[in-house]
Copies of this chain bind each other. A is one copy, B any other.
Amino acid sequence: MSFEPLPDVDSFVASVSFGAGGLVPVIAQQWDSGEVLMMAWMDESALRDTIATGSATYFSRSRQSRWVKGETSGHVQRVRDIRIDCDGDTILLLVDQTGAACHTGDRTCFEHVGAR
């Protein structure tokens, strides 16, 4: 499996139902192990950059700015596949995560609740 540029980026982007603030939630999943790594948000610009570069690019709601995942940490996400759900309002990225997905240094951002 390898990431191929979408045949028609404009029609795909137009099919995405961006919600409040022009954002769509994006689930990042490690393509081979199936680990759900994190959830973040994209605006249209971040989505287009993700497609153009093959490197997951998100929009930070707290900083109100675009960020390339791993730009400072090196923990980049190379996109292997892009999927969208039946309502067009959630994106699933299959990625190859370098190092830790979480800023805490953990592989994924999710932890078992029972262990809290």
Contacts and interface: CB of A to CB of B under 8 A. Distances in A.
B85 A113 contact: no
Interface residues of A, number: 36
Contact of A4 (B15, B87, B103, B114): B114
Nearest to A12: B113
A85 to B, nearest CB: 4
Contact of A39 (B85, B110, B113, B114): B85
Given A6-B113, A12-B116, A86-B102, 9 more contacts: A27-B27, A27-B39, A29-B36, A33-B34, A38-B85, A81-B112, A83-B111, A84-B113, A84-B116
Interface of A: 4, 6-7, 11-12, 15, 20, 25, 27, 29, 33-36, 38-39, 81-87, 90, 92, 102-104, 106, 109-114, 116
